[in-house]
Amino acid sequence: MMRQVLTRAAILALFLAGASAAPVAAQWGWGYFSSTAGEGAARGMADVVRSAGAANLMNSAAAINVETARSAYLDNQIKFTNTYFEKKRIRQSYVDSTKDLNRNSSQRMAALARSTPPLPMTDRELDPVSGQIGWPRALRDDQYEPLRLKLDDLFAKRAEAGGNISYKQADEIYAASSELTSELKKRIKDYPSGEYMSAKRFIERLSREGASL
């Protein structure tokens, strides 16, 4: 009987010891510093709030990075477009300057031709005995043949007369030479500028020779 009483007392003592140790387990066993269930719940809620705040912060940083990348892309597109049109403008300026240079060169050559008196025909260009004309390559094209034949005939008759021609023949030489110059001018784009000017000067010198009575 006495042994049963002691056993019950021992069990009661162990139960009381466990009850008194429960708050300590709650405090240290799971890593919390709360002594009550309410305080533990509050701390858990605080952890949830902190996690949500951290997520919002990361989302905000990601949004900023996306916007920065988008802004950089747009800047690059604008730079690319500006560079493209700038290169196009520079190329067009070069083309225009080249055209101006060629046009100015042609104008200078024409002015020089007008200011310089034509040289007399050489014997290779106009045979003084037969009156045969040594036509330059540019004037040997088929489209000039009728006028070439007419001038060949007029200068052959001039040679037969010892270099003397009538006023009528001189006028015919001048008219045929002027018409030949006009036909050559219609095809100015078909020849290099130097070749065109050389052919034009040849006709002028031939006309001047024919005007010598």
- 4-51 pLDDT, tens digit per residue, is 444 555 554 544 444 444 444 444 444 445 557 667 666 777 666 677
pLDDT band at 2 (very low <50, low <70, confident <90, very high): very low
Q: Which residues are CB-neighbours of 117 under 8 A, at least 6 positions away?
A: none
Q: Which residues are CB-neighbours of 167 under 8 A, at least 6 positions away?
A: 213
Q: What is the pTM of this model?
A: 0.46
**Rounded Cα gap, residues 115 and 111, in angstroms:** 6
| pLDDT 10s digits, 104-126 | 555 655 555 555 666 888 999 99
Q: Which of 141, 150, 142 is nearest to 174 (CA)?
A: 150
Place of tokens 């008194």: 20
Joined tokens for residue 9: 């007392």
Per the rule left: phi > 0, alpha: psi between -120 and 50, beta: everything else, 121 is beta
Joined tokens for residue 192: 């290099």
Q: Within 10 A of 202 (CB to CB), how many other CB atoms are there?
A: 24
Joined tokens for residue 5: 């009483």
More confident residue, 158 or 9: 158
In this model, does residue 132 exceed pLDDT 90? yes
Q: What is the mean pLDDT of residues 139-155?
A: 95
Widest Cα–Cα separation across the chain:
179
How wide is the angle at C-alpha 157 spanned by C-alphas 161 and 187, nearest 5°?
Answer: 140
Residue 138, pLDDT score = 93
Q: Within 10 A of 147 (CB to CB), how many other CB atoms are there?
A: 21
How wide is the angle at C-alpha 167 spanned by C-alphas 164 and 173, nearest 5°?
Answer: 80
Query: Is the Cβ–Cβ distance between 190 and 105 less than 8 Å?
Result: no
